[in-house]
Amino acid sequence: MSIPRFLDIEYCQTDDVLFPTAIAWSLGDGQMKSVVIAPDDSWLPEDADLGDVDFHYLEEQGVPLLELIRELHEDLPDQTVYVCGMDPDEILIDLIFSAVQQDAPFEIAPISDLVTELDAGDLEDRRRALMFEEGLEPQLPENGVYALLLLAREAGLLGGL
């Protein structure tokens, strides 16, 4: 049985820039993948304020966009992928794929489209509570995906997982 797919993106946002720095997503069996993203040159204007983002770390440790896009095409083709709905996920996905002139192979939907027993505000409150209960750091995208998986499990959407 394939379970719903989830995605979370960490990002840098200042007055000057908005770009993804790390991404995590779940697979049909509940496993997760997570990578740091090497930034595309088009995302960074000259002398941009990057806040506390370590640009050199992203350049050295980040996965090149073509490799990331290949994996997303392999793992999430023709899927609806659920996100917390609080972050600019659609904009970030567009940035990733437009940097290589491609369209995303999946659609993004808020978790509220999947877990309909709670409204969006209650879902966000429960997601935050789960992250706290599990001791998860909210800035790590794999923790965001794990919290969404826990929400789906509470709603009875994961079968035996």
Q: Which 8-state DSSP code applies to residue 44?
A: -
Q: Which residue has the higher pLDDT, 85 or 38?
A: 38
Q: What digits encode the pLDDT tens for the residues 16-58? A: 889 999 999 999 988 999 999 999 989 987 877 777 888 889 9
Q: Does residue 132 carry a pLDDT above 80?
A: yes
Domain chopping of the chain, boundaries: 5-154
Residue range 123-128: average pLDDT? 92
In what side-by-side order are the strands of the sheet with 107-110? 32-36, 18-26, 5-13, 80-83, 107-110
Backbone angles phi, psi at 97, to 5 degrees: -80, -35
CA atoms within 13 A of residue 85's CA, in its CB half-sphere: 18
Amino acid letter for position 113 = D
Alpha-carbon gap, residue 103 to 93, rounded angstroms: 9
CATH number of 5-154: 3.30.420.10
CB atoms within 10 A of CB 143: 21
